Amino acid sequence: MATYNYNPQQEVIGLLPAGGQATRISPLPCSKELYPIGFRSQVDGSLRPKVVSHYLLEKMQTAGIRKAFFLLRPGKWDIPAYFGDGDIVGLDLGYLVVGLPFGVPYTLDRAYPFVKDAAIAIGFPDILFQPDDTYKRLLTRLYAGNADVAINLLPFEHSHKGGMVDFDERGRVRQIIEKPAQSELQYSWCAAVWKPSFTEFLHQFVAKLEIERQNNSSPPREVPIGDVFQAAIDAGLQVEAEICDRQPYLDIGTPADLQRAIRYLTSEEM
């Protein structure tokens, strides 16, 4: 089994975008990031429900990450009420409110003043994936060479639902295509780490989007983060990929996928 080690030059901070409306699965009695899926063991051996975002925070903690921010739209106050200061997952947690609801790049850029000098680990708190050492693998790759960004790769059959990744034999990403109707590409991604070089690129990218939005009377187009990765590649930044598992990720954002995740976790704890 491969050993993954890294010696980051910057502090690593986790970012969890939670600014969505969850319209595909509404109504829910709570934010979808707090939907209970599976169980966690207490010190005394008893079981307690485990919410979906807990799995992501555990993976960050496993990689030695000590600090993370939830990026929230107004109204999702049940998330800080549940996680509090982060003691439940062994992390120092903070919460930032997102004012511009125009997609993940805007959401992530909200953290810019607080994280611009740090390395970043992102994940989507409504997605389940393996393995547990994903972020350790990605950080190892990020600091092993000249990459600005490292993303995980998992097999994915439903190309119309994900960002499909074209990469070479060395793991360098050539192209990310967001939700193509059909594709021969076999892998998608759901977790990433990056250096401050990409944080700055993202910040400038969003600034340009905001200028366009203010100069245009039509509603803004929601830009996926995969498009920002692609723009970074086109601008000369290096994005690398690491095949991390043979199983696809599970997104609980639709009733069918939620049902699939619950079935999976009744037979195998992630």
pLDDT single digits (tens) 149-165: 999 999 998 888 889 99
For 68-112, the pLDDT digits (tens) are 999 999 999 999 999 999 999 999 999 999 987 788 999 999 999
Considering the domain boundaries, does residue 216 fall inside one? yes
Task: Check residues 62 and 9 and name the one with the higher pLDDT.
Answer: 62
Region 27-56: mean pLDDT is 86
Q: pTM of this prediction?
A: 0.92
For 103-146, the pLDDT digits (tens) are 899 999 999 999 999 999 999 999 999 999 999 999 999 999 89
Considering the domain boundaries, does residue 6 fall inside one? no
- CATH code, domain carrying 255: 3.90.550.10
Is 60 within 8 Å of 123 (Cβ atoms)?
A: yes
Considering the domain boundaries, does residue 4 fall inside one? no
List beta partners, residue 150. Answer: 193, 240
Considering the domain boundaries, does residue 5 fall inside one? no
Considering the domain boundaries, does residue 2 fall inside one? no
Considering the domain boundaries, does residue 120 fall inside one? yes
Q: Dihedrals φ, ψ of 114, to 5°?
A: -100, -20
List beta partners, residue 18. Answer: 72
- Residue 90 DSSP one-character state: T
Residue 192 lies in domain: 12-267
Considering the domain boundaries, does residue 1 fall inside one? no
Alpha-helix residue ranges (DSSP H) falling in the chain? 52-62, 78-83, 104-109, 112-115, 134-144, 196-214, 225-234, 255-267
Placement of tokens 């790769």 in the chain: 153
Exposure of 191 by Cβ count < 10 A (0-12 exposed, 13-18 middle, 19+ buried)? buried
**pLDDT tier at 207, thresholds 50, 70, 90:** very high
Domains in the chain, number: 1
Considering the domain boundaries, does residue 40 fall inside one? yes
List beta partners, residue 94. Answer: 69
**pLDDT tier at 30, thresholds 50, 70, 90:** confident
